[in-house]
Amino acid sequence: MSLSLFDLTGKRALITGATHGLGMSMATGLANAGAQIIINDISGDKLDSAIEEYARNGIKATGYVFDVTDEFMVSETVEIIEKEIGPIDILVNNAGIIKRIPVVDMEVSDWEQVIRIDLTGPFIMSKQVGKYMIERKAGKIINICSMMSEVGRETVSAYAAAKGGLKMFTKNLATEWAKFNIQVNGIGPGYFATTQTAPIRVDGHPFNDFIISRTPAERWGEPGDLQGATIFLSSKASDFVSGHILYVDGGILATLGKAANE
């Protein structure tokens, strides 16, 4: 099999929420595979800082300020990107938030904010970018789902509901747009080493010990661990893969966990 199947040279990828963390790592992977990357944020300052960080790593990123939940703003910006940069070949719906609040304490406004960003945002982005992909009869859409679309955990009900919805939106969109040669898939990250998880990734911390013992790979994921899956689902290598959620979790979802005496 030729490595050219994974070559993204000449492709343009729009990755939402790629100013930091896992989004930045996935965008970096796509850039290293040859893609021209486009990122967004609602903050111009944050966007500028991210573009500088990409440049320090030898990557030219183009940034646009817009809110993924504002359909008018998204529509206008996607049109500008298509004219100024060129056709968007790859869309990665990565932007999202989480609010850890018990159900009885959660305000409806908190619930609706999570649903709007994590589920309605990908719908809006897919709709607006997808219109151009349908015209060209080609495109790759990757929705960043979660293990929480498969299993539950306390205090993240809104996030789990949104990601569960995103999983099914992925499957339905794959079904609806397959005839246009558009592949729609998802990636479900496990627990990753990021700046956000740094305070709990220390030896002796109960949650760190839990994740290490719960994960067959016996470690947290590194941001770079997501790059291969992202490249695969963006490339010709996945042209007959659609409606699939690829869990990158070190094997967590494959096991019940270790027995107490192991």
| 61-65, strands of its sheet edge to edge | 61-65, 36-41, 12-15, 90-93, 139-144, 182-189, 245-248
For residue 144, pLDDT beyond 60:
yes
The DSSP output letter for 38 is: E
At 194, the amino acid letter reads T
Q: What is the DSSP string of 174-186?
A: HHHHGGGTEEEEE
Residue 114 near residue 162, CB atoms below 8 Å: yes
Q: Which position has the token pair 């719960």?
A: 214
Domains and CATH numbers, the chain: 3-195+222-254 (3.40.50.720)
- Active-site annotation holder among 64, 159, 191, 247: 159
Q: Is the dihedral of CA 147, 130, 35, 196 positive or negative?
A: negative
Identify the three-state secondary structure at position 117: helix
For residue 119, pLDDT beyond 60:
yes
Question: Global pTM?
Answer: 0.96
SS3 content of the chain, % helix, strand, coil (to 5): 50, 15, 35
- For the chain, how big is the Rg over CA atoms in Å? 18
159 is an active site residue: yes
Residue 123 near residue 172, CB atoms below 8 Å: no
Q: What is the mean pLDDT of residues 92-120?
A: 97
**What is the pLDDT at residue 258?**
75
For residue 238, pLDDT beyond 90:
yes
Q: Give 7-44 pLDDT, tens digit per residue.
A: 999 999 999 999 999 999 999 999 999 999 999 999 99
Q: Give 194-227 pLDDT, tens digit per residue.
A: 887 888 898 889 989 999 999 999 999 999 999 9
Residue 118: band (very low, low, confident or very high) from pLDDT cuts 50, 70, 90: very high
